[in-house]
Amino acid sequence: MQRDNVRPIASMAKLQTIVTHDPHDERHRGAVIPPIYQNTLFSFPDHESFRGAMSHVLDQPVYSRGNNPTVEGLERTLAMLEGGEKARCFASGMAAMTAAILSVVRSGDHIVCVDHCYVQDFLRNYLPRFGIETTFVDGRSTDAVRKAFRANTKLLYLESPSSMVMHVQDIAACASLAKAFGARTIIDNTWATPCFQNPIALGVDLVAHSLTKYIGGHSDMMGGVVIGSAELVDPISHNEYMSLGGLLSPAAASLAMRGLRTLPLRMERLAHNGLAVASYLENLPFIDRVNHPGLASFPQREVAAKQMSGYGSLFSFETRLPEELVVRWGDRLRYFRIGVSWGGYESLVIVTIPSEEQRLEGVVLVRMYVGLENPGALIDDIAQAFAFVGLPTNQMSNGNEIGGECLEKRLER
């Protein structure tokens, strides 16, 4: 039943080398992980060296909003993983993405952006204040993207696969289209991670991530990063980063570094687990559609496979079961906790509130994040919750015993 069509991470060895190698090991007296430079400022033996450093506040430790060795180590590793020259870290994914956007547009410019993305509100509600307009397009059609371009379009913003609905864009085609129009391309690559998708190699100018998700990987830090050429990242450092000040704390950088060390290992397992659960759901008669780019039934399967070497474990499914029943099913799940975010150890579920359109069609959209638990246990959990709401699936697979304690907690609510 488990259809495992995840290709092995081709460059697994290379990725592992990057994430485990600290080029500045010697500096830290042999500490096996980079120490956390918690200090805000760095002092100097004399004014000559101080004045010299003051003209390089982004490259030398002077003040921690500017350069901090712990954060810098993380930035170097992230740049290497994405194949970019430079990386700049921020306090959150949103801080990184909005900084990247602000760095390429000015008053009077126009942006083309895919629908269903995280920066939607910023583009729709905030930037118009400064005379910057955005056209939202269905990124599944490169032709629709092309038609949205105007003479003053300066940015194409992508998120592939896109939030909730998992729509995929043909990244190489979109990037070359933008290039032809003289516009920059930014992509949110949080879902695929550098392990499975490398947009810079596909022609994208700036790659952004929420470190909060897979890269942090343990639901205990928030951060973001922008990666690209020095030509594009340096101005972000000088302007948006220094002036808006949304810096990543050294403690958070250290947690992201810890997450990175196991990223390739976790992604391999997460890709497998995600597909196992998605394939199981797809075969249930009362589930209409599973939006997971790795499934053979995924409408854009070809584009997805062309540009990704593996798949994230966040996906959604659609059903016409009554909303109230789906909510009861979700409440009954034991391993899938109810909550936002994703990318950590633990599996998550959200039964979304139907839009007006979905209500008319009777469709309920459920978002699933599959974590690192045993996939058989997760499938059994889904099956027992369906059985509870009167939909037995005869799929209790391998008799995984699920602890009763967290079930009792759930039922108390």
Ligand X SMILES: *Cc1c(COP(=O)(O)O)cnc(C)c1O
Chain contacts with ligand X (rule: CB under 6 A): 92-94, 118, 163, 188, 190-191, 210, 212-213, 222, 224
Residue 396 C-beta: closest distance to ligand X, Å: 32
Q: What are phi and psi of 69, to 5 degrees?
A: -60, -35
Residue 286 C-beta: closest distance to ligand X, Å: 28
Residue 78 C-beta: closest distance to ligand X, Å: 14
Which CB, 90 or 386, lies closer to ligand X?
90
Which CB, 226 or 389, lies closer to ligand X?
226
Which CB, 99 or 385, lies closer to ligand X?
99
How many C-beta atoms surround the C-beta of residue 292 within 10 A? Answer: 28
Residue 60 C-beta: closest distance to ligand X, Å: 28
Residue 252 C-beta: closest distance to ligand X, Å: 11
Which CB, 6 or 89, lies closer to ligand X?
89
Which CB, 191 or 311, lies closer to ligand X?
191
Residue 112 C-beta: closest distance to ligand X, Å: 18
Could you tell me if 349 and 337 are in contact, meaning their C-beta atoms sit under 8 angstroms apart?
A: yes
Residue 382 C-beta: closest distance to ligand X, Å: 23
Which CB, 94 or 111, lies closer to ligand X?
94
Tell me which amino acid residue 155 is.
L
Residue 212 C-beta: closest distance to ligand X, Å: 4
Q: Which residue is nearest to ligand X (CB)?
A: 93
> What value, to the nearest 5°, has the Cα angle with vertex 165 and ends 162 and 166?
45
Which CB, 104 or 158, lies closer to ligand X?
158
Distances 186 to 41, 97, 136, 159, 397 between C-alpha atoms, Å: 33, 9, 15, 8, 43
Residue 118 C-beta: closest distance to ligand X, Å: 4
Which CB, 197 or 393, lies closer to ligand X?
197
Which CB, 175 or 222, lies closer to ligand X?
222
